[in-house]
Amino acid sequence: MPTATARRNHDDAPDTQAAFACLNSLEAGPERDALRDDLVERWLPMSKRLAGKYRNRGADTEDLCQVAAMGLVKAVDRYEAARGAFAAYAIPTINGEIKRHFRDAMWSVHVPRRVQEARNKVRVARSELLARQAGEPSIGELAAQCGLGEDEVRDGLEAIESFRSLSLEAETVSGQGEGVSLADRLRTTEPGFDLAVDREAVKPALRALPERESKILFMRFFEDKTQNQIAAELGISQIHVSRLITRTCDRVRRQALTAYADAA
């Protein structure tokens, strides 16, 4: 039986074992940060390839690449060179992060896990039936194809509609037959709407942050810890914490503003 080391190596799997051994031996500081960033950059092509395997499943390709990059950063931070090949450790970590993204972030309406699984089976069964017959398959045909009960099939069909919500910019027809956006038909503006928009705007940038920067922001703005407390917990200086917070917030702000400009 072939071992993991006997599998075909991809062009995006560089030889970095020596670099990882060096990384594991370094104390926290600029030299370690630079080597860590270099390793992440060298393995980014692999994370993008893994993200590409999940395209055409309803998720934005750029978002998938960012999620995969976040999984890569976690793998780099947690990997120990003595464990063996980095790819064998990183690939499950990155795939797990992408699958978690689909499970937790891609549903517009939260549904139970069993219904999500039914939705996937029904979607596949429907595609298979449509490929070999004319017309939409019945509930009974779908149930027989995917091995579910008819009630489970109905739940799965409803869940398909929950995967993506209707945009506020979607055009609807008014009583006078005129096309108007869904947002224009709302009578009032929901309190906190602008805050919700801002939060959504920064999510991609926050997801792509390295684990340390993400942890620092969480400790500062969600756990309300002081810079001195953060520095003591992470074993770095307060000045370094301050610089990291400033630099990270600036990066997130720039990316959010760029996204706003591109969408305008």
Q: Between 172 and 238, where is the model more confident? A: 238
Domains 113-185 and 209-257 in one fold: yes
Classify residue 81 by its DSSP letter: G
What value does the mean pLDDT take over residues 147-166? Answer: 74
Fold adopted by 113-185: Arc Repressor Mutant, subunit A (1.10.10)
Domain residue limits, the chain: 9-105, 113-185, 209-257
Say which CATH architecture domain 209-257 belongs to. Orthogonal Bundle (1.10)
**133 has which bridge partners?**
none
**Could you report the per-residue pLDDT of 48-60, keeping only the tens digit for each?**
999 888 776 666 7
78, pLDDT greater than 50: yes
**Could you report the per-residue pLDDT of 167-203, keeping only the tens digit for each?**
555 555 555 555 556 555 555 555 565 666 677 777 8
**Percent of the chain predicted with pLDDT > 90:** 22
Q: Between 123 and 160, where is the model more confident? A: 123
Q: Which residue has the tokens 């976690």?
A: 74
**171 has which bridge partners?**
181
**For position 76, what pLDDT does the model report?**
92
65, pLDDT greater than 80: yes
9-105: CATH class: mainly alpha
Using an 8 Å Cβ cutoff, are 42 and 16 in contact?
A: yes
